[in-house]
Structure 1
Amino acid sequence: MDAVTDAEFDTSVLLSEKPVLVDFWAEWCGPCRQVSPILEELNGEHGDKVTFLKMNVDENPVTPASYRVTGIPTINVYSKGEVVKSIVGARPKAVLLKELAEFI
């Protein structure tokens, strides 16, 4: 999964033609490390329908603050510049697949 920064967010996420899933995470976050390989798998399986990106909240504080990301991991799905789905906390793959079914 590619990383996205505050500077690239508008272009890479909000102006994207297809839905974009952004994983807000940090190095020190244990649950983030649990979710990361699952999202990598989903990216491999569904990357043609949804763009998968990750954002380090410690290195990029502006975007998470603007979307009120207070707990991590937070997974937001953006479509046409709007948040259409928000998942806070780690989930097993089966649960993530169910919650993201309308996009993938």
Structure 2
Amino acid sequence: MSNFKDIIRGDKTVLIDFSAEWCQPCKMLTPILKEVKEKIGDKAIIIKVDIDKNPTLANTFRIQSVPTLIIFKNGEIKWRDSGVRAAQEIIDLLHQYI
């Protein structure tokens, strides 16, 4: 988990997608996040975290529903919400912190 902490504490904007393999909305979000990554490029880091494989991390951030998206900048949570979002909405959110 120290590597995770290093990533979110960095000066680059980080989007974390807390998800689960059994979650249908999470599966819908996967191609959306690929599109976001293609448009954002290296300006932000996008990480998918499986809550079933990383329960400690899920508990640390009090994940109660999936998908939950959290945007970090310099170790601080800048934005957080649950549910599927359109690619352009996520891109617009990220641009506020890049």
Provide the rounded CA distance (Å) in 2 between the counterparts of 1:57 and 1:7: 17
Aligned residues: percent identity? 33
Specify the code of the residue in structure 2 equivalent to 1:8.
N
2:32 is aligned, of 28, 31, 38, to: 38
Specify the code of the residue in structure 2 equivalent to 1:37.
P
Provide the rounded CA distance (Å) in 1 between the counterparts of 2:35 and 2:88: 12
Provide the rounded CA distance (Å) in 1 between the counterparts of 2:37 and 2:94: 12
Q: Shift of residue 45 of structure 1?
A: 1.1
Relative to the length of structure 1, the TM-score reads 0.83
1:8 aligns with 2:3: yes
Structure 1: runs of 5 or more not aligned: 1-5
Structure 2: runs of 5 or more not aligned: none
Higher helix residue share = 2
1:58 aligns with 2:47: no
Aligned residues: 98
Q: Where does structure 1 differ by over 6 angstroms across 4 or more consecutive aligned residues?
A: none
Indicate the residue corresponding to 1:18 in structure 2: 12
